[in-house]
Chains A and B, each alone.
Chain A
C-alpha cells in the first residue's frame, strides 16, 4: 500500500511558478555586484576561415571591459563533448552566426554595442547546407551504422507487393521558454562556481574544468531549475557555462551569459533533420514481410550527440511492428548548420516516421484501412525486435490498441466522417490511429547509473539531493514522493535541493526519459538504509522487533497497532543521541542491459513504454489549413508515480510532436543563415492547436517489474503519439480523391502549404488516369524538408 507515491500532487514548485518567486539561472544576476555581461561576436558567413579579429574599437568603448579571444585560453579551449570538435575560439568557420569571440561589458547594451564594433575578417568558402549536398560531397561525421534481422533482399524479391518511398523529416527548435544562461564567479574558497541552465551538471563541470585547466574538484556547477530543456540543454549548455567561467577567471568578476532568443536559435542545435529512403515488401493482407531503410541525419557542424541519436533511430525503425526481415542503415552527415543535438525522442521519432509513412503506402496499395494494417502488424509478447530484444510485455500494445479503439468510438466516427465527406466538397475530415513503442535506457550503458544523498536533520526535517535536474518534467516532484514514501513521511518534510555537483558526483544527464527510474531507485536505496537504521532505534524505544514496524505519515508504529506510536522526529532525535548516522548515499545501476554494436544484437533497453493515439482533423481544401477536432490517447506509464505529472508529460509531449509534424519549420536561406530565428517566424503550437476534445488516459493495472514503484518512464514516448495527427491529415487528403489513390504523399512538416500541395496532387491524379506508376513523395516535401 503506497501513501505518497501514486498520488496526484501539483508540481513541487507550482506555487513559485504562479507567483514568480521560482528563480531561474538568469534571475540571479541582479544579486551579483560588479557582474559583467557577455555577448558573442558572430560569424557573418556559414563556412570559411577567420583571417583576423580586431577588438580595438570595441575596447575603446567605455564600459567594455574585455573581449575574450583565443589569447585568453588557459586550459583546453574546446567544449566538444563527444569529440574535440568545438573550439571556443574557432579559426575555421563552420556555420552562420558561430560565436568567434565574446565581449564582456558593464551592461548588456554595451556588450551588444561592443560586439558590433569588433572587426572580423573572413575568407568565405562554399557551405554544405542540405543532406543531398552532404551526400554528394561525401561529408559525414560517422561511418555507417547498421542493424539487420533476417534476409531483407530475399524477402523483398519474394514479396507480393513492393513499394518504395522517400521522406524528409525536418528539424525542430526546442524553444524552451528559458534560453541558455549561465553565471560564473570565483567563490570564497577559490573554486569556480557556475550557475547553469544545464540538464547535465556533471558534464558542464567537466567542460568548465577542461577549459580552465582545473581538476573537476575545483569546479562546482549548480542547476537550480530550468525553464524547459527537452534535450536542448543536455550538452549545449556547456559552451555558455565555459564562456562565463573563462570570463570570470580572466576578469575576476562574476560573468553572465544569457542568449537572447535569436542568439539561442542561431547558435544552439536542434532536432536532427533526417532523410529516409525505404523499400517495403508486403502481402495482400497488408502483412509486412520486409523493410529496407537507409537514413541520413543532418548532424550539423560538430558531432555532439549525433551518433547515439542516429542509433536510436536505427533501434526504432520498427516502431511497434513485427517485421520479420528488417535492415536499417544510417549515417550522420556533416553540414554547415548549427550542431544538431538531443531532443525529446532522440532520433526515435525520425526512425519511426519512416515506417509510419511506409505503412500508409501498404494500406493505400492493398486497400485495407490504415488502422487495420497497423493493427495486424503489431508486436506480441515473445516477439523480438530487429536487434534481438524480446518483448516481455509486448501484448500491452495490443491491449492498448483494442481498448483505445473502443474508448474513442473509432469505427462509429469513421462512418460519421465518411458521411460528412460525402456531402462536403471542400471541407474533408480524416481520422487515424497510431501506436508507439519506445525503448527505455541510455544506449550508452555507463550512463545508466545514478546517485543520491539524503540528509536527515535532528529536528526530523529532510534534505533530498539527487543527480537529476528539474526542467519542468516534474522529476523533483516525483523524487520527493519516492523519498517520502520510502521514509514513511509526509511530503512537506522532504525538501528538494538544487542539483549540484558537490552533492552527488559523476551524475548522468537527465535525459532519455530515465530521470525518475535512475534517480528514484538511488533515492530509494539511500532512504532504505536510513529507514533501516531508524527502525533499529524505534524498535529499542518501543521494545519491539524492528521488522514489525510501520513507517507511515510521519509516525512509526507496530503492524498490530499495539505498543504505541512514535513521531518520526522523536525517533530521529533519539537516533542522533544514540550516535546513529542520519545521512546516507544511494546508488543504482540498471540491471541486465547489454548491446553488441558490431553484431547489432542485445538487450539495450531495460523495458519498453507503449501508447497509442487517435486523432481526427478537418481540412480546408482551398488553403490546406486544418483543425484538430479530437484526440484520444491511452498510454502506458506503468504504475504512475504521480498521475498529474504523467498526464502533463503525455499531453505536453503530444503537443510538441504535433508541432514538429505539422507546423514547426526551420528555414535556412541560401547563404546558410537561419531565417526562422524567433517566435515571429518559427511557429509553435498555441492554445488554438489544442483540440477541444482531448482525452488522455493511463493504462490501468500496468505495474512494471524491476522499476521504481512499478512505474515506467514518460518523458519521451508520448511525443510520438502525434503521428496520429499527421496520418489523420493524410486520411483527410485522401478524401479529396475521386477514386482510391495508390499513395498519398504528404510533405513533413505537414504545414497548410504541404497539405495544399498534397490535396492538389490527389486532385490532379483524380483528373488524370494512370496514377499507379507514380511514386513521388519527395517532390512535395523536398522544398523545405531537406
Chain B
C-alpha cells in the first residue's frame, strides 16, 4: 500500500517505502532541503516540521516534531507542513520577526526555530499567556546566543483575522487509520484497535512495536539498527490514546504524548507538572509517550522515578489477556522489562491519594533538554496529624534500573517529618546505591546527590511549611 499524507497543502502518495526511511531523509531527497539534519537524534530541532493534532477544545493545533525521528509509516494520514510551506503565502510573521531581530546567523538552525515558533504563534493561549519560551527550548543554535531569537518570539504580533493558516485549525486533526506499507520484506504495519494490535503482534512477534519513535528511531539513525521484519506502529490504536480520571486512579494511555499529559494532567498532579517541563524538549514531548519511556527501560529515563514514587501500576495486555503490575516490577535489569512476548503496555495507572508532599528533582548539566545525571522523586502522604503514612523515594541514574530507597522509606513511615527523622533518612540513604561513573557524572557525585537531593527536599519542605 502506498503511504499517503498531505505535504504543504498537497496530497502526496509514496510507493514502496522502506520502513526505516525517516521523514527528514525523504523530504531532503525530494529536494525540500529547508529542513536540516543537525544531530539525527532529536536533540537539536533543525529538522522540525509541523503536524496537526487534536485540540482539547475544538479543531486542531499545530505542533512541531522532529522529522529525523519519524519514519514514513508514522507520517501516513498526517498533515505535514515544512519551512517551505510556511512561506507559501509570502513571508510569515515569524519569519519576518526572525529577520528583523537578527535571529539568524549561519541560518542552519533557523528553519527549525521558524517551525517551533510558527506553532507557538498559533497557540490559542499565547494571547493571554504571552510567548512561551519553552516552545523554542528544544532548538539548538550555535551562533546567536539566543537573545535575538527570544526577542523575535516576544515581538510576534497576534494572529490576524485573515491568516491563511488559522483556517486549517478549525478543521479536526487528521484521523489516523490503519494501513501497512513496505518494501521488500520489511513492513510498517499500523493496526486500528488494541485487539488488532495484539493479534498482529501475536502472529508476527518479530515486529518491533513503535510508539512515538523518539528512542527507537534514534537507534536506527545512530547505530544503523534495522528491523528486517518491520515495525508495528501503535499511533492509531485508540485504547492507547486515552486519559481517564477514575475515583481510585488516573489512567494514562501508553500512547498519549507527553505534551498532552502536560496539558491535561499537569494542573492536577504537581509532580507531573514538575517532571514534564524538564523531560527533554517540547519537540520530543510532542511525540514521546509514557509507554515508550517505560518500555525502553533506561536507567536514566525521567518518568520512572516519578511513577515509582507515585506507586503507579502498569496495565499490560496480550492475546491471552490482561494483567496489572506495579511499576516496580517492570524493570528487571539494564534496559530489560518484565514484558512477556506478545505483550504491550496499555496504560499507566496512578493511584489516589495523591501525595501530600512531593517533589521531582533532576540533576543535569543544563536545565533544559538534557538527560539526568541523577533524578529523584519523593512522595509522602501525611495524615492530619502530620504523620507520614506512605513514603516513596525513587531515583534514576544511580543503578542499572530506576530504583526505590526502601530503607529510607521505612525510616519515614509512621514518623513526623522533622530533624530526627531527616537524619535517619540521611543515614539510610548514605551509600544505599552503587552508581557508576560516565560522561554525565562520576560515581562519587551521583552518590553524593542521593542524599543531597533528599536534603534539598527536606530543607525546602521545612521552608514551605514552617
Contacts and interface: CB of A to CB of B under 8 A. Distances in A.
B429 to A, nearest CB: 13
Interface string A648-691: 10011111100000010101000000011011110111111110
A645 to B, nearest CB: 7
A619 to B, nearest CB: 13
A227 B108 contact: yes
A684 B31 CA distance: 30
B106 A678 contact: no
Given A27-B33, A228-B106, A655 B438 contact: no
Interface stretch (B50-58, B266-274, B448-456): B448-456
Interface in B428-456: 438-442, 445, 448-449, 452-453, 455-456
Contact of B107 (A16, A30, A175): A16
B98 interface: yes
A676 B99 CA distance: 34
B105 A472 contact: yes
B87 interface: yes
B38 interface: yes
A463 interface: no
A84 interface: no
Given A651-B148, A680-B41, A663 B142 contact: no
B365 interface: yes
A349 to B, nearest CB: 16
A647 B102 contact: yes
Interface string A628-649: 0000000000000000110110
A471 B150 contact: no
Given A14-B104, A15-B99, A20 B84 contact: yes
B222 interface: yes
Interface string B115-151: 0000000000000000001001101111111111110
B140 A679 contact: yes
B439 A227 contact: no
B91 A622 contact: no
A89 to B, nearest CB: 23
Contacts of A116: 224
Interface string A93-113: 000000000000000010011
Contacts of A26: 33
B34 interface: yes
B146 A690 contact: yes
Contact of A665 (B144, B365, B452): B365
Contact of B100 (A10, A113, A681, A760): A10
Given A14-B99, A177-B36, A627-B367, A474 B453 contact: no
B368 A688 contact: yes
Chain B binding surface SS class: loop
B284 to A, nearest CB: 11
B369 interface: yes
Contacts of B364: 625, 752
Contacts of A751: 365
A683 B107 CA distance: 20
Contacts of B95: 15, 18-19
Contacts of B28: 27, 30
Nearest to A674: B439
Nearest to B95: A18
B40 A261 contact: yes
A663 B366 contact: yes
B106 A227 contact: yes
B367 A625 contact: yes
Given A261-B38, A680-B371, A686-B137, A655 B145 contact: yes
B29 interface: yes
Given A11-B102, A679-B44, A753 B445 contact: yes
A112 B222 CA distance: 11
Interface in A137-186: 174-178
Nearest to A690: B146
Contacts of A262: 222
Interface string B360-376: 01011111111101000
A679 B445 CA distance: 22
Nearest to B96: A18
Interface string A331-351: 000000000000000000000
B301 interface: no
Given A18-B99, A30-B29, A686-B137, A652 B105 contact: yes
B230 interface: no
A24 interface: yes
A11 B104 CA distance: 7
B144 to A, nearest CB: 5
B363 A623 contact: yes
A20 B452 contact: no
A174 B87 CA distance: 31
Interface of B: 18, 20, 28-41, 43-44, 46, 82-84, 86-87, 91, 94-95, 98-100, 102-111, 114, 133, 136-137, 139-150, 218, 221-222, 224, 361, 363-371, 373, 438-442, 445, 448-449, 452-453, 455-456, 459
Given A11-B104, A623-B453, 16 more contacts: A10-B102, A14-B99, A18-B91, A18-B110, A24-B36, A177-B38, A177-B108, A260-B221, A625-B364, A648-B105, A651-B148, A681-B371, A686-B146, A688-B367, A694-B147, A783-B442
5 closest Cβ pairs, A-B complex: A20-B34, A472-B106, A227-B108, A17-B107, A655-B145
12 contacts: A17-B110, A23-B33, A30-B30, A225-B107, A656-B145, A680-B39, A685-B146, A687-B136, A687-B137, A690-B150, A752-B373, A756-B445
